[in-house]
A and B are shown apart, each in its own frame.
Chain A
Amino acid sequence: MPLSLSDPNWYPIASSEDLPFRHVYQGQLLGRELAVWRADDGNVNVWENRCLHRGVRLSIGINEGQELKCQYHGWRYANRSAGCTYIPAHPADAPARRIENRKYPVREAYGLIWSAANDEKPFAPFPGAEGQSWFALRPMPVNAAPEDVVAGLARLAPDDQPADLLPGLTVRLGEIVYFVQPVDAGRAVIRGLLPETPADALAALRHHNEHLTHLRDRLERAAARKPAPEPLQPIYEKVSADLATMPDIAVPRGNTLNVVVSRKWQSADGVIGFELADRDGKHLPTFQPGAHIDVHLPNGLVRQYSITNGPGDLLSYVIGVKQENASKGGSKVLVETVREGDVLAISEPRNNFPLRRDATRTVLIAGGIGITPLLSMARFLDKSSLPYELHYFTRNGESVAFKSELDALHGAVHVHTGLARDAIRGTIDQVLGPHQFANHVYICGPGAMLEMVQETAARLGWPDEAVHFEYFQNDKTIDASSAFDIELARSAMTLHVPAGKTILEVMREAGLTVPSSCEQGACGTCLTTVMEGEVDHQDVYLNKSEKASNTCMMTCVSRAKSARLVLDI
């Protein structure tokens, strides 16, 4: 039976020992090259061995622990999702969400790493696998067709005890099980397992290795007499069309996903931690440091919460919710009515607070619950061994949230408790110091604190581009003085928006049902595609480049600069 690219069987592709700490191993299966690496959390990744940017092998990349870094331009890909989290050539931008490398299923068992060309078959142990503590022999590469290698192994059996051919190119000879890894049409690797570690492991390894070397030589001599089989031609999937058109601005049309509250706990007085996980234990989508998710609350409201996780940490998202922040019943519902085991809808992560990783000095300043995005940033910087300082201001009597996570950081973490306003100002002044080249500060906290840091930074000569913050609430005064027309392309309607009324209101009056939630340009629910006309953005949801693209808008607060807007409604 000829090999097929879509063979759904699981095969061993490496030994567990091939994946030491922070290493990247080059594997091969069915004509495809694979980059195989173990993250610091123990997870093994099997990816297509090719960077999506310019096709450089990821097996020559750098395993940074929870992210893999490509050698050519330093793109980072996250553990588990293979999603790109950082593009150094554009350090201030959040990479498009859809840049995600192809990955293959993986299982580590019996001292071997297993993978398959697709997800069609769940991993199943080979017959008789359970109950033994298997010991892996040295792999033996053979330049011969995998099926010929299987036949050759079977012929090793003594006449009175024929070989047992198991599914998936597997041969059992007595107590030894041999797996043939189909590298390509004309190449294979024999991987053998002994049922237990022999008394003299080294001697056993040597003995079996010699044995297999003879077999290899015989098989290769036979293969040389036959015409070489055509190598398999793997197909490389194309990237999506919106990624190919270069400007990495895609309309952030958020898909929602359902997650289960896997843990809810008191992280500090007044701060409740929520751990949100996929219902089937799969990993969640890639996020970047500083990213947030929209949480759809049982009462219909949508609220934003920052992800506190570190790099490649995708089995759950951890968010922190402040207890008394009960404005409009948002967080209150989460804190009071949502229990462990409940299912919530969340958006895919969005990032309006991207972290540059090209700074010579990064200062993170948090006030109270504002610690959440900065904790994530600190964890990313920590893993990449980049210099940073985290200053966390808490009120008198307020305790430190996420204490154990903060304790696990290696960088400079300073907690400032119960300082009066002036003392806070003085501390910030000192912490920032005069601006120097490639220094950046990130702030998250109450509005008053944000203003204070902005003011201080400006006074010390920090340029705007070096001072980073994000809004979850739109505190700006909305200028609703303009009047203009909107043409609704799909509804075939033209409406007039007078001064003092929002686009959303006008559409509703005309009988259209359009979704909204916060109605202050912060939650993203009313996001609409713009086909023509120039938008007067007044929201805090879209980031700079999304606004500049002029392809989408929030109809609850934003208006038109041009006399007419054409919307995809």
Chain B
Amino acid sequence: MPNAPDPITRNLWHVVAATDELPLGLVETTLLLDTRLALTRGNDGEPVVWLRRDEEQGDEIDAGTIHDRLPVRTAYGYTWTCLGTPADDLFPIPEFAEPDRVNMSCGSIGIHVSAPRAVENFLDMGHFPYVHTDILGSEPHTEVKEYDVEVSEERDEVLATKCRFMQPRAAKSATTAMEVEYVYRVPHPFCSVLYKSCPEDESRRDVIGIFLQPMTEERCRAHLLQSMIDSTSTITDLRRFQQTIFGQDKPILENQYPKKLPLDPRAETPIRADKSAIAYRRWLSQKGITYGVIPQAS
């Protein structure tokens, strides 16, 4: 029997699909918080999400006949829904609206690990030389330099700044090794946004978002957003680049044990480089999130 999600998690907006990829008039099925969902898009292009009964993937359906709809929002190229009472707003990514950016959803990848483990992996620079060898890092440049972390009270998010790492090929448009600077935000328990110094324009930053759909406590789907200032690479290139990266993370994450994220500080051994992960774990703990984590025994 799956654990019922905690109320905080239940009332969050959760990502369920890339809006563009939802077929018009056909059923798509998925899982969110152990709950079976069905999705489609009506003729107006607007996504509709409801609790799945006997619908099968690919069935034809007329959106007009669906009455018990779940709340829906579209944001950052994705469709979001909520199984409880949703808040008004989803976290902001202001850069998304800048006119000269290439915004794209880069596909989704299923990972057999909890969503919080996947968030932590996204925040982690120490694995670049080992897991993303010759792309995001390479031995011998393994050092994670001191950076700053805070939990912003007013925005209720974890913020890591001044993160620097030596990278052989930080982005598709980078051709030589350089030290890149990162800022990480965790504005939602299962989403994170990364800003990274852009090889083309020093004053601006590429933005990469990862939105995790917690399917069960131990399985998730990672949905990626890129909002880039890259004029040379094609969309296919950029997509392939991000998919390579996540394809490399997947086997490591699936070999993590336990699959749920342990919130007890003594469950694993943090080092200074893990400051952001520690702040994230504490933040989840304080919020009272119990889904996909092993809460600290009180």
Contacts and interface: CB of A to CB of B under 8 A. Distances in A.
Interface of A: 33, 49-50, 52-57, 60, 71-74, 87-92, 99, 236, 238-241, 243-248, 357-360, 386, 438
A95 to B, nearest CB: 8
Contact of B269 (A53, A71, A386): A53
Nearest to B130: A74
A55 B129 contact: no
Given A74-B130, A246-B278, A358-B141, 8 more contacts: A54-B256, A56-B257, A72-B127, A74-B129, A88-B126, A248-B272, A358-B142, A360-B140
21 contacts: A33-B257, A50-B257, A54-B120, A54-B268, A55-B258, A55-B268, A56-B257, A60-B251, A71-B130, A71-B131, A72-B252, A73-B127, A74-B130, A90-B144, A91-B143, A243-B266, A244-B265, A244-B269, A244-B270, A247-B272, A358-B141
Given A73-B127, A438-B140, A239 B252 contact: no
B228 to A, nearest CB: 28
B87 to A, nearest CB: 31
A74 B142 contact: yes
Contacts of A71: 130-131, 252, 255
A92 B127 CA distance: 17
For the residues of B in contact with A, the DSSP-based class is: loop
Contacts of B125: 89
Nearest to A247: B272
B129 A88 contact: yes
A49 B256 CA distance: 10
A166 to B, nearest CB: 34
A274 to B, nearest CB: 34
Interface in B271-296: 271-275, 278
A60 B252 CA distance: 9
B266 A438 contact: no
A233 to B, nearest CB: 11
A90 B274 CA distance: 11
Contacts, number: 104
Contacts of A92: 143
Contacts of B256: 54-57
Contacts of B271: 53, 87, 89-90, 246, 248
Nearest to B275: A246
A52 B142 contact: no
- Give chain A's interface secondary structure class: loop
Contacts of A236: 258, 267
Given A89-B144, A90-B144, A246-B274, A52 B268 contact: yes
B264 interface: yes
Interface string B172-201: 000000000000000000000000000000
Interface string B124-155: 11110111000000011111100000000000
A60 B250 CA distance: 13
Contacts of B273: 89-90
A540 B127 CA distance: 34
B267 A238 contact: yes
Contact of A60 (B124, B143, B255): B255
A89 B269 CA distance: 13
A290 B142 CA distance: 20
B159 to A, nearest CB: 18
A245 B126 contact: no
Nearest to A237: B266
Contact of A245 (B140, B143, B265, B268): B265
Given A71-B252, A89-B144, A238-B264, A52 B129 contact: no
A57 B257 contact: yes
The 10 A-B pairs with the shortest beta carbon distances in the complex, nearest first, are A88-B142, A238-B266, A89-B273, A358-B140, A244-B265, A89-B126, A89-B144, A244-B266, A57-B255, A73-B126
